[in-house]
Amino acid sequence: MWVYLNGSYIKAEDAKISPLDRSATFGDGIYEVIPSYDQELFLFEEHFERLKSSLYKTFISSPQELEDLENILKLLHKKNLHKNQSFYIQVSRGVQAVRSHAADKDLQSSLFITSQELEPNPYKSQPNLKGLTTRLEEDIRWQRCDIKTTALIGNILSSHNPTLNPVDEVIFHKDGLINEGSKSNLFMVKEGIVFTPPLSNKILPGVTRQYLLDKLLSEGIDVLEQDIDIQELYSADEVWLTSSTKEVQPIHSIDDFILPSKDPEESLWHRALDFF
């Protein structure tokens, strides 16, 4: 597999990132994930804008070669051969010889890009497939979830807890209100209306989330961005999750609660899947 590191295309096994890089010592970096279908980048401009927003919010300087990102990704796609790929783009504040909370003023930011095969969404070919299993958890992450930072220990921590049963996704909540999934945004359908939590510092401004909102509205489907109480999930007709690599996928269960079974052809999540 080929990767891109600070101006060079190299084999993954030859890529070397210093352990003194602040992304390793402090989680001091941001990232973006961009899907590509048949060598066509999907929603590239929207993802690029979010990447630049993350850099701005974290005061990390933009690497010069980032302006040529689209061409870099297209060439990397060709080198890694897979028809559909997802690209992971990481920018760190840079390498600092002496570990210190305060970064040196002359640090050069570091750019690393890798890709992997993007597996087809199984619900496209098998809409009757059992939906996702999920678990509710109190949201104890930091209060800037609107920044796509590499410091994701709060998102992945419980998935490594051996005392908990494995699930497909964790749904975070705070003060009785739903925020988002550990790696996704959440949508709920009730009486033909689609609900999703509003943008705030508590959730990531999902590119797929916004794409779906615009598409649903253009189809004349009522959509409301408003707070969702935990208890509302238990009376919902549908609950689904969205992300750049998973597109749209329905939820089957929340902890021990099983959501109502519904013909996919009559479900809004299945209709939304047609937008991809």
Residues paired with residue 115 on neighbouring β-strands, in sequence order: 87
What was the pLDDT predicted at 127? 96
Average pLDDT of the residues in 59-69? 96
Amino acid sitting at position 197: P
Radius of gyration of the chain (CA): 20
State the distance between the two ends of the chain, measured CA to CA, in whole angstroms.
Answer: 27
Coil, helix or strand at residue 45 = helix
Residues paired with residue 181 on neighbouring β-strands, in sequence order: 171, 184
**Gap between the Cα atoms of 197 and 174, Å rounded:** 12
Question: What are the structural domains of the chain?
Answer: 2-119 (3.30.470.10), 124-273 (3.20.10.10)
Residue 30 confidence class, pLDDT cut points 50, 70, 90: very high
CB 47 within 8 A of CB 34: yes
What was the pLDDT predicted at 21? 97
Residue 172 confidence class, pLDDT cut points 50, 70, 90: very high
CB 200 within 8 A of CB 144: no
Among residues of the chain, what percentage have pLDDT more than 90?
99
Coil, helix or strand at residue 67 = helix
pTM listed for this prediction: 0.95
Q: What is the pLDDT of residues 81-138, one digit of tens each?
A: 999 999 999 999 999 999 999 999 999 999 999 999 999 999 999 999 999 999 999 9
Q: Position of tokens 């980032």? A: 66
Q: What is the pLDDT of residues 224-233, one digit of tens each?
A: 999 999 999 9
What was the pLDDT predicted at 139? 97
Q: What is the pLDDT of residues 133-163, one digit of tens each?
A: 999 999 999 999 999 999 999 999 999 999 9
Residues paired with residue 230 on neighbouring β-strands, in sequence order: none
Show Cβ contacts of residue 157 under 8 Å, excluding neighbours closer than 6 positions.
none
Among residues of the chain, what percentage have pLDDT more than 70?
100
Tokens standing for residue 35: 């899907």
Q: What is the pLDDT of residues 211-252, one digit of tens each?
A: 999 999 999 999 999 999 999 999 999 999 999 999 999 999
Average pLDDT of the residues in 29-36? 98
Average pLDDT of the residues in 71-79? 97
For residue 56, the tally of other CB atoms under 10 A from its CB is 12
